[in-house]
Structure 1
Amino acid sequence: MSASKSPTLSNHTQTVQGRNVNPSSEPCIEQTLREIGRSVGIDKDVFNRAVADQAILERLNKLTDQATDEFEVEGTPPFFVNGKKITGAPSLEEMRSAIAAALNGH
């Protein structure tokens, strides 16, 4: 992680489950993450322990920085087929075509 990036959730603006999230407003990102956690069944106490653990936060930020810097991920979910980034919102046919090309060595 570069010296200019601190280990907080406020490093990036991202799209999380179709919502634009500006982590510079940490209550906003935390509330969004809590909603997502609830929607997929993450226990509230488990979530609270995870967000209180600085080591977990630092690992999450390192992965976020890597996704942004190395893979140019700008939102979720990103799609990669055989290491090639699929941009935008690909149709099912576009995904099938990209996968078929990768399987055929193209």
Structure 2
Amino acid sequence: MSRSRFGATRRGLLGFGAALVLAASPLSAQAQKAAPEAPAKAPLDLLMAEPPLPDIWLGDPKAPVTIIEYASMTCGHCARFNTEVFPILRSKFIDTGKVRFTLREFPLDPLAAAAAMLARCAGDKREAVVELLFQQQKNWAFVNNPLEALRDTVKQTGMGPTAFEACLNDQAVFDKINQIRDTAAQKFGINATPTFFINGEKHSGEIPADKLDEILAPFLKP
């Protein structure tokens, strides 16, 4: 499970410089101060409230199980879940009407915030961009010039340099991703990724593929 070290400012993102790719300061002081002890179960009214950037749901709205994942695009555990476990979750539970699922942004660092912004700027391609960035995470997140590598990676989705820069200059998207992250920290005690809420019940850390049935079984009892 990856711990938060988010200390980004808008200047760090928009300057395309060292502040974006090297910052490693903790979660914002406000979020740290306000973060409660991690609850075992989140209040459903708060958890299900529409976030500043709308949830993009997969699965039947009437599914008996609702899963919300808080993830960071630079989190290796999140990438492994997305590439190895999520396809099983999707085929076995989401596509069969048992689970509905959404991913919410919880960037651990400025580069993750940039990646989250780019996914949101992709509009209806957001899911495809998230999948691509997780699949190719090692090619852009852990290299000498990650910003350039990130630009080259999203180019595969049709996003050119002008759109790339415009997205990272989008104050509204930046602020809303910050709000999603800070609400998760302050209200739900999240300080690491991935964190899952299954029908409001909190599960911290990666869910292995061989544990999916065991974890979901109690929520799928007739």
- Which TM-score band (shorter chain)? 0.5 to 0.7
**Partner residue, 2:157:** 41
TM-score (norm 2): 0.33
Counterpart in the other structure of 1:74? 191
Amino acid at match of 2:214: S
Give the gaps of 5 or more residues in structure 2. Answer: 1-7, 14-24, 29-71, 78-106, 115-139
Cα 1:42–1:22, aligned 2, differ >3 Å: closer, same or farther? farther
Tell me if structure 2 keeps the 8 A contact 1:15–1:74: no
| Equivalent residue, structure 1, for 2:75 | 17
Following superposition of structure 1 onto structure 2, how do residues 28-67 of structure 1 map, counting pairs within 5 Å?
Answer: 29=111, 32=141, 34=147, 35=149, 38=153, 41=157, 43=159, 44-67=161-184
Q: Displacement of 1:83 after TM fit?
A: 1.4
Consecutive unaligned residues in structure 1, runs of 5 or more: 1-5
Matching of residue 98 in structure 1 with residue 215 in structure 2:
yes
8 Å CA contact 2:194–2:206 kept in 1: the answer is no
Query: CA separation of 1:82/1:42 partners in 2, compared to 1, >3 Å: closer, same or farther?
Result: farther
**1:87/1:56 CA distance change after superposition, 3 Å:** same
CA distance in 2, matches of 1:68, 1:42: 33
Aligned CA-pair RMSD = 3.9
Q: Secondary structure at the match of 2:188?
A: coil
Specify whether residues 56 and 22 from structure 1 end up closer, same or farther in structure 2 by C-alpha distance, changes over 3 A only. Answer: closer
Return the alpha-carbon distance in structure 2 between the equivalents of residues 48 and 81 of structure 1. Answer: 36
Q: Which structure would you say has the larger RCO, counting Cα contacts within 8 Å and 6 or more residues apart? A: 2
For residues 28-81 of structure 1, give each alpha carbon's deviation from its aligned partner in whole angstroms, at most 9, with x where no partner exists: x25847445626736243332121011111111101111222233334433221
1:5-38 superposed Cα distances (whole Å, 9 cap, x missing partner): x96477728672328x874xx5xx2584744562
8 Å Cα contact 1:16/1:76 also seen in 2: no
Indicate the percent of aligned positions where both proteins have the same amino acid: 22
Q: Partners of 1:48 and 1:75 in 2: how far apart?
A: 28
Name the amino acid aligned to 1:12: L
Change (3 A) 1:16 1:59: same
